[in-house]
Amino acid sequence: MKDALLEVDLAPGHKTGLLLKNPVMTASGTFSWGFEFARHFDINALGGVLSKGVTVHSRAGNQQPRVAETPAGMLNSIGLQNVGLYKVIDELAPQWAAWDVPVVVNIAGDSIDEFGEMAAALDGVPGVAALELNISCPNVDVGGMEFGQDPVAAGRVTRAAVRKTDLPVVVKLTPNVTDPVALARACADEGAAAICAINTVLGMRIDIDRRRPVLPRGRGGLSGPAIKPVALRIVHDVARAVPVPVIGCGGISTGEDAIEFLMAGATAVQVGTATFANPRAPLDVLDGLRAWLRKNRVSDVNEIIGCARLPG
Ligand SMILES: Cc1cc2nc3c(=O)[nH]c(=O)nc-3n(C[C@H](O)[C@H](O)[C@H](O)COP(=O)(O)O)c2cc1C
């Protein structure tokens, strides 16, 4: 049997669109700016690449240690260390423009207006295919998750960005709320082209010898296989509630993991923490996905999207 068709559309009907040659993307913050990986494998084989979270001004990030191992995952408290918006526009985007894979820039504003200003600055920049609004970072004092925990604020941030750019705007949700569906609805209502779920789950570890939290800020964001069931539940519930595509993220490290997310209703997936143990993880997920589709005689990946969804 021939390989299945893999192309998916993350922004159907949108002005510039966001067509991926396959549904496997990297996750923000786990793939740096992509250049190190591009030296080791064919980055153009991926469906999409996410940048590290970008703020207007460069940031040094939080005090060390910033990561801690956990059973089946890790905690991080990076604090949005990044080179700043204008270095991204002037130096990184021109290099992305030479790639044959869409690069989505993950942005984190300190205020609603700042999300709008960043969206305006990135509009029309060659090498930037779409924006992902990070309203879900648990590791910063200002902005971050505070916009992502209230549907009204999440809707306002979305509107501020959508009004300032022709690029498709993806909104990335935090799982650290009671009702992620309400947030997703508010973002979709305000023009989000797609929803990404999920960012990290708030967690903590204690160093029993020092009798102190392992991470200086106490809490951090849990990622990896430990959060996969949480992510799947949220993707499932959001996908049946909103009319826009959903990108699944959280604990994906195999083709079978990706299939689970697609069946729950995701149109694409992002691979994050798995990349730290295996830099080729996104490609391995893609190979696994392709093999599963072939073995199960599925001719187009779109056929399985949402097939396991329960009536809502
Ligand atoms: C070290 C690290 C840094 C991250 N940085 C960002 C970031 O800058 N912006 C963002 O939206 N998500 C960030 N995330 C969250 C991931 O993109 C992803 O949503 C989360 O880790 C769950 O996926 P995973 O289990 O595959 O890692 C980061 C995660 C890790 C582990």
CA of 113 to the centre of ligand 1 (A): 24
Residue 38 lies in a domain: yes
The ligand 1 atom at the shortest distance from the C-alpha of residue 273 is 27
CA of 25 to the centre of ligand 1 (A): 13
> Given ligand 1 and candidates 51, 52, 174, 223, which is best to mutate, with the most ligand atoms within 8 Å of its CB?
223
Residue 214 lies in a domain: no
CA 283 – CA 275 distance, rounded (Å) = 10
Query: Residue 175: which CATH number?
Result: 3.20.20.70
The binding-site residues of ligand 1, defined as CB within 6 angstroms of any ligand atom, are 27-30, 52-53, 76, 78, 80, 106, 134, 137, 172, 199-200, 223-224, 227, 249-252, 271-274
How many structural domains are present in the chain? 1
The ligand 1 atom at the shortest distance from the C-alpha of residue 249 is 23
Domain interval for residue 41? 8-63+80-203+224-304
Q: pLDDT at position 142, please?
A: 73
The answer to whether 282 touches 43, Cβ cutoff 8 Å, is no
> Given ligand 1 and candidates 24, 26, 30, 80, which is best to mutate, with the most ligand atoms within 8 Å of its CB?
30
CA of 155 to the centre of ligand 1 (A): 22
CA of 3 to the centre of ligand 1 (A): 31
The catalytic position among 137, 187, 196, 249 is 137
| Torsion angle of C-alpha atoms 50, 55, 56, 61, degrees rounded to 10 | -130
Active site annotation includes 307 = no
CA of 93 to the centre of ligand 1 (A): 21
Q: pTM for the complete prediction?
A: 0.98
Residue 211 lies in a domain: no
- pLDDT by residue, tens only, the chain of 312 residues: 778 999 999 999 898 899 999 999 999 999 999 999 999 999 999 999 999 999 999 999 999 999 999 999 999 999 999 999 999 999 999 999 999 999 999 999 999 999 999 999 999 999 999 999 999 887 777 777 779 999 999 999 999 999 999 999 999 999 999 999 999 999 999 999 999 999 999 999 999 999 999 999 999 999 999 999 999 999 999 999 999 999 999 999 999 999 999 999 999 999 999 999 999 999 999 999 999 999 999 999 999 999 999 998
Q: pLDDT at position 2, please?
A: 79
- Residue 225, classified by CB atoms within 10 Å of its CB into exposed (0-12), middle (13-18) or buried (19+), is middle
Nearest CA to ligand 1 atom 10: 28
Sign of CA dihedral 110, 116, 121, 122: positive
The ligand 1 atom at the shortest distance from the C-alpha of residue 132 is 11
Residue 209 lies in a domain: no
Q: pLDDT at position 207, please?
A: 97
- Residue 87, classified by CB atoms within 10 Å of its CB into exposed (0-12), middle (13-18) or buried (19+), is middle
Nearest CA to ligand 1 atom 31: 273
Which amino acid, 149?
Answer: Q
Residue 212 lies in a domain: no
Q: pLDDT at position 152, please?
A: 95
Q: pLDDT at position 295, please?
A: 97
The ligand 1 atom at the shortest distance from the C-alpha of residue 134 is 11
Q: pLDDT at position 312, please?
A: 81
The ligand 1 atom at the shortest distance from the C-alpha of residue 136 is 11
Q: Among residues 51, 39, 211, which one has the least CA distance to residue 134?
A: 51
Residue 208 lies in a domain: no
Q: pLDDT at position 80, please?
A: 93
For the chain, the three-class secondary structure string (H helix, E strand, C coil) is: CCCCECCEECCCCCCCCCEECCCEEECCCCCCCCHHHHCCCCHHHCCEEECCCECCCCECCCCCCCEEEECCEEEECCCCCECCHHHHHHHHHHHHCCCCCCEEEEECCCCHHHHHHHHHHHCCCCCCCEEEEECCCCCCCCCCHHHHCCHHHHHHHHHHHHCCCCCCEEEEECCCCCCHHHHHHHHHHCCCCEEEECCCEEEECEECCCCEECCCCCEEEEECHHHHHHHHHHHHHHHCCCCCCEEEECCCCCHHHHHHHHHHCCCEEEECCHHHHCCCHHHHHHHHHHHHHHHCCCCEHHHHCCCCCCCC
The answer to whether 107 touches 133, Cβ cutoff 8 Å, is yes
CA of 171 to the centre of ligand 1 (A): 14
